A and B are shown apart, each in its own frame.
Chain A
Amino acid sequence: MSVMLTKFESKSNRVKGLAFHPTQPLLAAALHNGSVQLWNYRMGVLVDRFEEHEGPVRGVAIHPSRALLVTGGDDYKIKVWDIRPQNRRCLFTLHGHLDYVRTVQFHHEMPWILSTSDDQTIRIWNSTSRNCIAILTGHSHYVMSAQFHPKDDLIVSASMDQTVRVWDISGLRKNTPNQGGPGGNPGNGPGNFETFDNFSTVKYVLEGHDRGVNFAVFHPTLPLIISAADDRQIKIWRMSETKAWEVDSCRGHFNNVSSALFHPKHELIVSCGEDKTVRVWDLAKRTAIQTFRREHDRFWVLAAHPQLNLFAAGHDSGLIVFKLERERPAFAVHQDSLYYIRDKYVRAYDFNSGSDIGLLSVRKFGSPYVPPRTLSYNPAERAVLSTISSDGGIFELSTLPQGQQGDVKDSSADGKKGTGQSAIFVARNRFAVLNKATQLIEVRDLSNSVVKTIKPPVQTNEIFYGGTASLILSSTTTVVLYDIQQQKTIAEVNSPPVKYVVWNSDSSLVALMSKHTITIANRTFSQHSLIHETIRIKSGAWDDAGVFIYSTLNHIKYCLNQGDHGVICTLDNPVYLTRVKGKTVHCLDRSARPRTITFDPTEYRFKLALLRNNYEEMLYIIKTSTLLGQSIIGYLQQKGFPEIALHFVQDTNTRFELAIECGNLDVAMEMAKTIDRPECWERLAQQALKQGNHKIVEKAYQQTKNFDKLSFLYLATGSTDKLSKMQKIADARGDPMSRFHNALYAGDVHGRIAVLRDVGLHPLAYLTAKTNGLDDLALEILQAAGLTEADIDDVPTFGASSLKPPPVVTPTTDLNWPAVAGPENFWDRALASGALEGGVESPYANGDAGGVAASSALDAWAKEEEEIPDDLDPEEGGWELDADGGDFQSAADEEEAVPEDEELGAGASPGVSEVEHWTRNSPLAADHVAAGAFESAMQLLNRQLGIVNFNVLKPIFISIYRSSHTYLSPVASLPPLHLHVRRDITESAPSRVLPVAARTLQSVRSELAEGYRFVSGNKLAEAQQSFRSVLQSLLLVVLSSDDEAKLWRDTVTAAREYLLGVTIELERRRVAEQEPDNVARNLELAAYFTHCQLQPPHMQIALRSAIGVYAKANNQAHAARFAKRLLELKPDPKIVAQARQRIAAGDRNPRNAVEVAYDEFTPFEICGVTFTPIYRGSPAVHCPYTDASYHPQFKGSLDPLTQLTEIGATASGMPAPWSDGR
């Protein structure tokens, strides 16, 4: 074991007890001065202190699943604490021990607390009932420690009486059926010792130590016990069902051994003692592997994290948290494969398929306790090059077995080894090895012979691949790009020691990672940017879009090329990123297992798009995800895009500020109205004045009652009526100065005089009147003042004044000109077009990526932790993904409003009416009709179904329109409110509302049924009318599904066939009546009628009619044919009899008296105009709506059947609005 990595250290009073939190980076330390500390060892901060014990605290434990802490001290007390951040307090105290409490422990599943004391007893307490439920007696000296077995009902205890005892407590579990209930143990007072002995018995007494034993513990899985004693030995004991015996001792500590633990994952023992050392032992060989010495401090206690490779040791002046080996798995990524080493096996993991197979054992490579440090993969030769730090640093080159299914081979078989601290492939058949001691880089070929030796230009600690024929050399202060061929430095960048290097997919960018910095550089290092992190940087990978994603101890973050970075998600435990694909991060965890984390790339994609001015992408992101929050607003503002930030802001004050900043007066105005504070209006007025929008200035002045400025503004804009209004207002306010001003501005001499008179300034009034030639008035003033002309002889005479306001040349009142043109930007257009709606809710949220571990419980902690680092990104938690997308819409709506300003309180211009939304939202003619947009409805029908004759549709149009609107007067005497009946009452977003379906397929089909009844009732004229009406109604039916669309088409076809059939029959009757000689035509039409697709009952009518007509004309053969067809329809027995007679007659006399154009054996359509057959293969044109067939010469005429369409016109067909494509 060559590494022991200290992760955290604290200085304090002597530490006597330690306990790790099972899921959070917390460590409880019991101090000799009576305090209990709770440390966050990852952040290095003291989270809390518990100081209620008097005297030293020796025992401490954290509950495995609940937020509880138990402590035991020299005050004989055991205290249980709630450690949740919001309510940290002592929950209760257990009294009973009669001397110092040494250790305490929670049971892993029962509500039990185990304690040991110098009173020579071990006690078990029920933490629910808070009673002592068992007292284990037997030790004859202080009991130094006791531990539950991790699975079985056993306890192991260590005592100063030199024994280790194993206790069977299965009786306790059996005898506490009501465990948890306060009344579970009736009569068990603390003094009632005898009763407990039933529950627990000493199973084994382990004798062997010849001094007091300080600590003993079970192996997590094997039937082993280790004990640490003052005889400087660690003993290993084995147990069977019946006995227990000493296996071996570990000797090496040269003073009392305080504690010894099994390594939770490896076959190792860790121990510490008063000889100021922590030692690591091989469990199998019982040999010391490593010793870690401390100068002055004796070690008192040791704790192991239940899951992680973490240990803590308490000593005289504090504690240390350490791990025993590097946990960063060695890995290399090539295309879609990850090659990595887990448990000394080289494995291949496929990112796509997730297959994960072992390929090569490296067990015999270096120390068995040390995992390989790096791995380099050579795809051409399918070779791997790994390094290990044991044995002074060695490398091994071996080839992977060919074929995925091959047996796992051992690298020692053909592996080529050598000394070197860092080794990487630099070409297909070359690799470079760094020897740190000699400072030489050797380039070797695949047979491991040196082909070149390089003396690096700087003190090099590590080498990385630097692109073709180049190396990246990492020194303590710089990183060097070095050309192997020319043996010279290409570039050098200052950086702390670089530990990892990651190239992006096209090798144009490289990320150089050191402990706290990331340098992003291009391939020649000519451009680079630096990111600093206070938290340790662990790993990184490039995203497909060229964003570098990296992991720190507790976050996954992104950084953009120019150096912006932010948090993507929080991590419970560090991971090593291997690959980023879309929303998925592939990584290896600390036990080298491949994992994936899904995250939301929206934020950085948005920022990236912003950097690249890719507005379409930004818009797309806004549309498809909910992108809101302070962070993005702050970011946009900081980056100089206030106008874009405006689209994200909800808060009115911020919105106002931003709007002022980017000169968006409309928004500013809107917000000022909401805020309605004088200072806002003043700022708005200033900004509007700058931009020359005097209407807004006016509005702002009005709001602040800034009459003087308002008057002046009116003067400046030449608004004389407003000035006179101001005069009235001034009158009302009784403010003579304002009246005078306004009168002056308005050029109202009388007004001025009136003011002067009102305030008693008669002389001025007189002079004003006089100089303006108002002698009568002047005289009146004189008289009012009780003077005559004579009295004012001494007043000099002034010439008539021509002073008056200049005439209005261009009335700018109604013009906002000249205005500073606001920059018309992409956003305004995109947003104003109403394209933005509340986007799709993101299905993922930023959060704890490792949601597996009781993450909810960790949330509170996680938050706290995140607040500690000072570089905490503002983005953290800022992505309020839950924000209501609907607000976008309203913002967009406001954009749409034409910012034409009105007077005083009337800041409203008409919005988009509901009917306009209807037409915008639907491609269906029916909806346009309901909206009253008849023109577009007609165009749609014309385009979709070739309708040209609309006059017949007028009643339907009008009735649909009429049915879609209603009125109500909620307020007396106001015109009623126009209300709109919607199709889906749950839908209220303007971008999706649609009118009520006034005509439904159902209602039309009932109309069709009515037509059928007319046919059955032989009311053919009515039937014809009815089918036409059906076809008209079908044009304006709203469909909601594919099934309905199919039904619609079927209905159209059925109506067409009936319409055609009925029309043919009507024609036949006309012929029969008007041209009785034209027997052939009569017969033909009767035959054609039977070729319309009618329902069986109607087909029977057609056939029977045809049989009658043909029989009468003595075309017996034909009549028999019809009769046969009739039989196929299985009619009434009576009809069957008739049909059979007819067939018999036909058989007797198989002749046709009249020659007719009727060939029933060749399929044909019937022309809707001439009612003559169009045999298959003959040219035909069709009705674009019903698809009825016609002879080609009728192309361009009005369809006589429906009287709606132009025969042969092209049409696009009904659109499918239910497949809501937006």
Chain B
Amino acid sequence: MDSSELYHVKQQFILGAYKTLVDLSLPDPNSPDHTPTLLYQARAHIALNNPKAAIALLPDGSSNVAVKAAASLARYVAATDAASKDSQLEDLRDLAVEIEGEDADGSEKDRALVRVLAGTAFARAGEVEEALETLGGATEDLEAVSVIVQIYLSINRPDLARKEFDRAKKWAEDDLLLQLIESTIGLVSGKDGYSNCNSFYTEQIGNPSLSSPHLLTARGVTRILRNEFPEAKSDLEESMEQQKGDAETLAAYVVASGLAAPKKPEVDELWNRLVSEHPEHPLVVDVASKAQLFDECAAKFEVPPTAAARA
């Protein structure tokens, strides 16, 4: 059983309150909570796309496999060239193999975390099979389940995600993370008009023990999916105020504005802002590729000369 501090840290991490988590002061190094908190903080840094801070935070030469894995993931996220990315992946692979042995280092928890971190890295690298393999088919680690579910969803297998979730439901009781997983599946499958996701996020926004703009963004996105565009905009605006420069929120805001009033010029302004500030965001990348596709497709149609009176 986790201590209440650690539980709180975990909750913040799961619900995406990374900013708050990063600003937390670490407990005493001798406390059993030290390393887990450290790890969550490091992962929060990574999630905020600030892997350098994570690397700085994590002690060098730790013998803890989870710390090693977190460091590898941080370096992997930080890496810019393919070679160093590969080397970090290789490290994670080694770690994943290392923990498989019966006399491997680290507690069961640490090993589970190694799998999650390695799986995350593999999924980022697009190695879906390897990620799933690393996470294991019969895991009883909810974090692993959440990663597995998202991977399934990303490859359009909501059926498998649902199965994985149903399986987890049997042993995970009503864990917060489990609810999050369920709502994630709901966002993709759209059962019951997204009402479950909507109420989950609304409930967590009302959670007094934390505040996370990520939740506002998530509800904003849910509301977009529910075709409630003005409401979505207001959620997203609020979220943007709390975390300036969050790509996800801005991207969702573009979509919400576009659907609320398609012809307004500010939509294009927002879009240009997103493109210039976050050129890496998948929406930007995707739309850019679609623009290219458009040109290719349009070129296949021969445009006859415009009819002219004196032609």
Contacts and interface: CB of A to CB of B under 8 A. Distances in A.
Contact of A963 (B154, B258, B282, B286): B258
A913 B154 CA distance: 9
Interface stretch (A393-401, A1082-1090, A1199-1207): A1199-1207
A929 to B, nearest CB: 9
Interface stretch (B26-34, B84-92, B106-114, B296-304): B296-304
Contacts of B189: 988
Most interface-central of B181, B255, B294 (chain A CB within 10 A): B294
B136 A973 contact: no
Contact of B290 (A728, A911, A961, A1169): A961
Interface string A430-452: 00000000000000000000000
Contact of A978 (B43, B282, B302): B282
Interface string A674-709: 101000000000000000000000000001000000
A1199 B158 CA distance: 46
Contact of B254 (A909, A962, A973, A986): A962
Contact of A949 (B130, B131, B187, B301): B301
Contacts of A962: 254-255, 258, 271, 283, 287
A485 B144 CA distance: 87
A890 interface: yes
A199 interface: no
A1169 B282 contact: no
Nearest to A993: B190
A979 B187 contact: yes
Contacts of B73: 973
Contacts of B151: 908, 974
A831 to B, nearest CB: 15
B38 interface: no
Nearest to B127: A906
A1009 to B, nearest CB: 12
Interface in B230-276: 248, 251-252, 254-255, 258-259, 261-263, 267, 271
Given A902-B132, A981-B255, A1198-B306, A970 B224 contact: no
Interface in A949-990: 949-951, 954, 957-959, 961-963, 965-979, 981-983, 985-988
A732 interface: yes
Interface residues of A, number: 85
Nearest to B293: A934
Contact of A905 (B16, B133, B227, B271): B133
Interface string A726-756: 0011011110000000000000000000000
Contact of A966 (B13, B251, B271, B308): B251
A934 B267 contact: no
A890 B291 CA distance: 34
Interface residues of B, number: 96
Given A949-B301, A982-B190, A1197-B306, A908 B152 contact: yes
Contacts of B303: 948-949, 951, 1198
Interface stretch (B1-9, B56-64, B94-102, B168-176): B94-102
Interface string A1045-1077: 000000000000000000000000000000000
Nearest to A966: B255
A1063 to B, nearest CB: 12
B307 interface: yes
Interface stretch (A232-240, A995-1003, A1103-1111): A995-1003
B123 A1200 contact: no
A910 B155 contact: yes
B199 to A, nearest CB: 14
Contacts of A911: 155-160
Contacts of B217: 968
A227 interface: no
Contacts of B47: 969, 972-973
Contact of B282 (A938, A976, A998): A976
B66 interface: no
Contacts of A996: 227, 259
Nearest to B131: A906
A985 B225 contact: yes
A1197 B158 CA distance: 49
Interface in A841-899: 890, 893-894, 897
Nearest to A988: B190
A908 B184 contact: no
B69 interface: no
B129 A959 contact: no
Interface in B133-172: 133, 135-138, 146-147, 150-160, 163
Contact of B248 (A733, A967, A972): A967
Contacts of B307: 1168-1169, 1190, 1194, 1197-1200, 1207
B180 interface: yes
A1203 B154 CA distance: 40
B18 A967 contact: no
B128 A979 contact: no
Contacts of B37: none
A999 B262 CA distance: 7
Nearest to B187: A979
A938 B154 contact: no
B188 interface: yes
A775 interface: no
Contacts of A987: 190
Interface string A1024-1040: 00000000000000000
Most interface-central of B131, B158, B181, B261 (chain A CB within 10 A): B158
A976 B308 CA distance: 51
A965 B73 CA distance: 28
B145 to A, nearest CB: 10
A733 B103 CA distance: 9
Contact of B259 (A729, A949, A972, A981): A981
B120 interface: yes
B262 A998 contact: yes
A961 B255 CA distance: 10
B13 to A, nearest CB: 7
Nearest to B13: A972
B137 A981 contact: no
A958 B188 contact: no
Given A948-B303, A950-B298, A975-B154, A982 B225 contact: yes
A906 B132 contact: yes
B150 A966 contact: no
A907 B154 contact: no
Contacts of A950: 294, 297-298, 301
A673 interface: yes
Contacts of B193: 985-986
Contacts of B97: 728, 732
Contacts of A965: 255, 283, 286
A985 B190 contact: yes
Given A906-B128, A973-B77, A979 B188 contact: yes
B304 A1197 contact: yes
Interface in A51-78: none
B140 to A, nearest CB: 13
Contacts of A837: none
A732 B301 contact: no
B156 A981 contact: no
Given A673-B137, A908-B152, A973-B47, A968 B218 contact: yes
B201 to A, nearest CB: 10
A973 to B, nearest CB: 5
Nearest to A1029: B263
B4 to A, nearest CB: 22
13 contacts: A734-B103, A908-B128, A908-B132, A911-B159, A938-B300, A948-B303, A968-B217, A972-B46, A973-B46, A973-B73, A976-B248, A996-B227, A1003-B263
Given A938-B300, A959-B262, 5 more contacts: A911-B158, A973-B77, A974-B147, A1003-B263, A1198-B307
Closest 10 CB pairs of A and B: A905-B137, A906-B132, A732-B101, A1197-B307, A911-B156, A972-B47, A963-B258, A950-B298, A910-B155, A1194-B307
